[in-house]
Structure 1
Amino acid sequence: MFLPPDDADARRAIAPVICYPTDTLPQPDMALYQAALAGAEIVDAVTAAPREACTFRVSAGGFFRIVSIDGPQVGDLNLWHADDLSERFYSGKTRALHGTHVSTGDRLWSSFPTLRPMATVVEDSLDWYGIDDFGGSVHDVIGTRCDPYTGNLLAGTQYHHCCHSNLTRALADVTGLSLADAEPYVHDVLNVFMCTGFTRDTGQYFMKASPVRPGDHITFFAEIDVLGALSACPGGDCSAEHSSDAAACFPLRVEILRPADGALEGWTSPAVNAYDRSHGR
């Protein structure tokens, strides 16, 4: 254990600098999106059963809404380009650009080398929650997903209805890939409705009972053609544990909405990132 230097307090007092100022990011036209949403109609809906996952497709320029329907439940969301699984949601870069939790106006960004908006949050019925006294907030991009490998590492279990396995089965089913071939495409998630943060004393990732209630929802605008998979987490509202056959779990519904013709006049789907990929060679 090293003793602190004489200037320890001065070092700690140095003001932080935002790593990625977002002033120059292309900004979504929220007024256009919200007006289009107001006139949109539901054209399809799928349900993720408790401790299972569902998949859905949304064309660029459409909306998808995740809804709590029977009780407090969190969900783990993966997104891919509908025609190219290698372009997938990049939670780490989304976190770096927008912060640990997302809400209205924030975007879900895709992986390298495309790095473009996949979806934009256009409404969030839990945006009132903010950051609580524990440092917790809703819809995080800091957790990964409950998975059987960590469960086996920590407890020696063989649990198959964690979100990683649910998403793997769902992706395999919708694409026709084997489980072994589908699994590498499953990636870190947006934890929809989950209330999380970091403890201030040890810096550990924590979860607490989600504030979500039936009727709460979060709605996204699809910036590109997307394939989505949503797992209804086996932890229910994640008030106690996140891989459990004992927790009260409820379904989640995904609604697909199509705006009226002409509602998105002037909008275009974002192009892939313009970096030339020469990497200095």
Structure 2
Amino acid sequence: MKFPPKNLAPPDAAARRASRPVICYPINDLPVLDPSFYERARCELALISKTTVPPRDAATFEVAAGCFFRIVCAEGPQVGDLNLWNADDMDERFFSGKTRALHGTHVSTGDRLWSNLPYMRPMATITHDTLDWYGWDDDGGSVHDVIGTRCDPYTNVLLNGCEYHHCCHSNLTRAVSKEKRISLAEAEKHVHDVLNVFMCTGFTLDTHQYFMKASPVRPGDYLEFFAETDLFGALSACPGGDCSASHSSENAQCFPLTIEVYKADPAYTGDWQPPARSTYSGGDCGAGSRWRLRSD
């Protein structure tokens, strides 16, 4: 619900609204992405692992830097919530907010998934998207969003007054806890905002509220990534199925998802190296130093 304004528009309201938008983060100066490198690298791929994510559950996986991985629609329309961490340091993780600021509300081929501060580097690059034909629909919706946070039991209690234990947040927490052999409380601290894979979302044109609609994904569709760093990942098969009606539900028809990891032929990757973390020095503290309060 949106409340009507209580204040009259000033005489220059039209002029204020007419100011031109300015892109907050122009990406022309980002490190140059060479599409031909990724096309060459994916020419000959060898499948090295396959992980099934059961409906209304999550699974973890690992991808070595320089390898590819695909999230595949296996049996029926299904969306997934993806978390990524540096395999050697879980303090470095996918930063959906900065990815959104750099690449927009929805991502596809050529866009990158960036890590959080102070690391701020590409973790993965999207190299193929079988749903790139979808574009934008008449409702303003598109697929693979970095808007939503993930369905979670806390919001479910707030809005519905009941507990549900297979929200994507819960699924990811359990999967991380199991794989890393840590408590649920510790694992929950690592779970973060997601890439909503295959999910079709946008903002309503009247109230500008976040919406979802039936995903266009079908069996055989996939979203493919190149691992820019060694990755530890977790993927939840959302309890909303294709999210055409609701999420956090036992009523939606749900299907498994598959994670496939591929090794590229070294002949095509050449002397490629993982990107370095941010070179920001930390202000006047010097490179690699911790922040300190200035005495002046």
Give the secondary-structure state (helix, strand or coil) at the position aligned to 2:32. coil
1:143 aligns with 2:151: no
Following TM superposition, by how much is the alpha carbon of 1:279 offset from its aligned partner in structure 2, in angstroms?
6.4
When structure 1 is superposed on structure 2, of 138-147 and 4-13 the one drifting more is 4-13
Letter aligned with residue 37 of structure 2 = L
| Equivalent residue in structure 1 for 2:24, among 11, 19, 36 | 19
Match of 1:170 in 2: 175
Q: Find the aligned partners of 1:246 and 1:279 in 2 and give their Cα distance.
A: 56
1:74 to 79, 93, 116: 79
2:97 corresponds to which of 92, 98, 101 = 92
Shift of 1:158: 1.2
Distance in 1 between the 2:284 and 2:139 partners?
A: 42
Matched, 1:275 2:280: yes
Partner of 2:128, secondary structure, is strand
Structure 1, 32-41 or 19-28: larger mean CA deviation: 32-41
Q: Quote the offset at 1:249 in angstroms.
A: 0.2
Equivalent of 1:160 in 143, 165, 183: 165
- Which residue in the other structure is 2:13 paired with? 8
Q: What SS does the aligned partner of 2:266 have?
A: coil
Question: Superposition RMSD on alpha carbons, in Å?
Answer: 0.9
Equivalences for residues 246-257 of structure 1 within 5 A: 246-257=251-262
Q: Please name the residue that 1:179 is paired with.
A: 184
Using the size of structure 2 for normalisation, the TM-score is 0.93
Q: Which amino acid aligns with 1:245?
A: E
Aligned residue type for 2:65: A
Q: Are 1:223 and 2:228 counterparts? A: yes
Q: How does 1:175-254 map to 2 (within 5 A)?
A: 175-254=180-259
Name the SS for the 1:270 alignment partner.
coil
Question: Secondary structure of the equivalent of 2:163?
Answer: coil
Supply the AA of the counterpart residue of 2:242.
Answer: D
Percent identity of paired positions between Structure 1 and Structure 2: 64
Which runs of 4 or more aligned residues in structure 1 lie more than 4 Å from their structure 2 counterparts after TM superposition? none
| TM-superposed deviation, 1:59 | 0.4
- Please give the alpha-carbon distance, in whole angstroms, between the structure 1 residues aligned to 2:276 and 2:101: 21
Structure whose CA Rg is larger: 2
Shift of 1:277: 1.6
Equivalent residue letter for 1:223: E
1:65-90 Cα distance to aligned partner (Å, 9 max, x none): 00001000000000000011110000
Matched letter for residue 233 of structure 1: C
Counterpart of 1:57 in structure 2: which amino acid?
A: E
Q: Is 1:49 equivalent to 2:57 in the alignment? A: no
Deviations 1:103-159 (A, max 9, x none): 000000000100000000000000011111101000000000000000011111111
- Counterpart CA distance in 2 for 1:279 and 1:42 is 48
Q: Which amino acid aligns with 1:267?
A: W
Deviation larger for 231-240 or 26-35: 26-35
- Quote how far apart the aligned CAs of 1:28 are: 2.2
1:112 aligns with 2:117: yes
What is the aligned partner in structure 1 of residue 288 from structure 2? none
Instruction: Give the match's secondary structure for 1:236.
Output: coil
| C-alpha distance after superposition, 1:225-279 (max 9, x if no partner) | 0000000000000001111101000000000000012221131100000001236
Distance 2:246 2:38 in 1: 37
- Kindly state the Cα deviation for residue 196 of structure 1 after the two structures are TM-superposed: 0.3
Stretch moving more, 23-32 or 128-137: 23-32
Task: Show structure 2 runs of 5+ residues with no match.
Answer: 1-5, 286-293
